[in-house]
Structure 1
Amino acid sequence: MKTFYFGLFLIFFSSLKVVAHEFTDQQGRKLQAEVVSTDAGQVTLKRVADGRLFSLPATTFSAADQKHIADWAAANVRYDFKVEHTTKKIGEEKKKQQEGEALDIHEYETWVYQIKITSRMKVALSDLRMDYWCFREEELPPPSSKRSRRAGESESDWRKPEKRLVFVSGSADIKALPASGSMAVDTKEIVLHKLKKGTTSMGKFGVDTADRLAGYALRIFDKSGKEVFKMATKDDLFAQINSSTEASKK
């Protein structure tokens, strides 16, 4: 299983201006302060009067204040995930195609990525959505099978199979993810094509080609539709997605 760690993660803060809140503890004492952070039931407050920081259990305060703290935490979530994956072949098919004297062999393998998302957060998460794009490198017949060799073009390039990236996309709902918990998603199927050219009495004509898996990219969104996390197994995959999206709009 391959694992991707991210030292940098996305931090999202409420778009509202921070305003001091009047906290009341269980003994009725008042405190004008701003929430600075929350962690595992603790809340850190900054007192307005002198800027002093206090870290206390959230249960120190009234039920209304605890709701205020919980609302602040929900609007200022720091998302941190570990992403791992394995690949699984779930099917294969072989077909023969007669091309004159030659018998070409076409092989089709069906694969999925099994993506495991692990929360490295100390709070439970819910109502997230993961969009993903699974890539394959498609190997196409070389230019020599379609046209004459151009001036200045080397014979090796002329006879080399052409390659392009294509993807299938999908989405998965993350209804609930416990603190430090994990969930696994099987992606949509990716079909890889392999062509083995046959031979004739004159020899072999054409070039064997073989597709291959070429990585994936994913984005995670919170319940408001805001992107809170993204990663890709290769740096250029999001550029490929964006380019394809722009082309589809034309």
Structure 2
Amino acid sequence: MASTSKVALITGGAAGIGYAVAAMLATKGWLVNIVDIDQEKGVVAASIGATFYKADVRDYHSLRNAFDDTMKRHSRLDFVFANAGITDPRNFYEAQTSTLPPEPSLALLDINLKGAVTCTYLAQYYFRLCKQGSQLADFDPTLVIMSSIAGLEVYSPIPLYTAAKHGLVAFARAIATPFKESDGIRVSCICPGPVFTEKRKPSDADRLDMVPMETVCNVVSELISPGGGFGRCLRVLSTGISDV
């Protein structure tokens, strides 16, 4: 029997924006499922009453198992937040001194772009599964993809990150109408500027361009609300929020 509470699955949900959204939903009575590669941070899930799944978005089977177990436990899935991502720790332009250049690391593209695509692929399947024979009057499946301001502007110092985030914006826009028309799935993406998370230095809190975490949570809350629309791409800056 399907749960009477709404169910969310959040990748990269053990810290940062993912955890903030998870905590917000938990306070509203949602059944939250956190997917993250960091097993040690799984304790934060228990602190908000969420279920934790150790999974790598680059590993299809571990991610699929998290989706599958969530569906088996609750018999419904209402919201998926494709949020997992990393920053670019390397200098792409660094000169290579070896005779032959070493193979470049494309982990950032695998996690930020391919991971979100895989998450979307699974979300579509399980949303459809939930919809089949469903008697849920309040079923309104929603997928939100986390991009970045780097998905709307060009940041030359971090070209791989910029490429991944641009790809997410284009991907979300490409699937929004087909998902809505075929299965009633509402897709949108968020493009925030720098957000003040626990990874930031304390001095960053005074930066005028920092986006408060509460602002991002409010945007997610709006997108999953019945009147949140679909196919939206929201630029979220300290100076305001706007549809792109």
TM-score interval, normalised by the smaller of the two chains: under 0.3
Structure whose residues are more often strand by fraction: 1
TM-score normalised per structure 2: 0.24
TM-score normalised per structure 1: 0.24
Q: Which has the larger radius of gyration?
A: 1
Structure whose residues are more often helix by fraction: 2
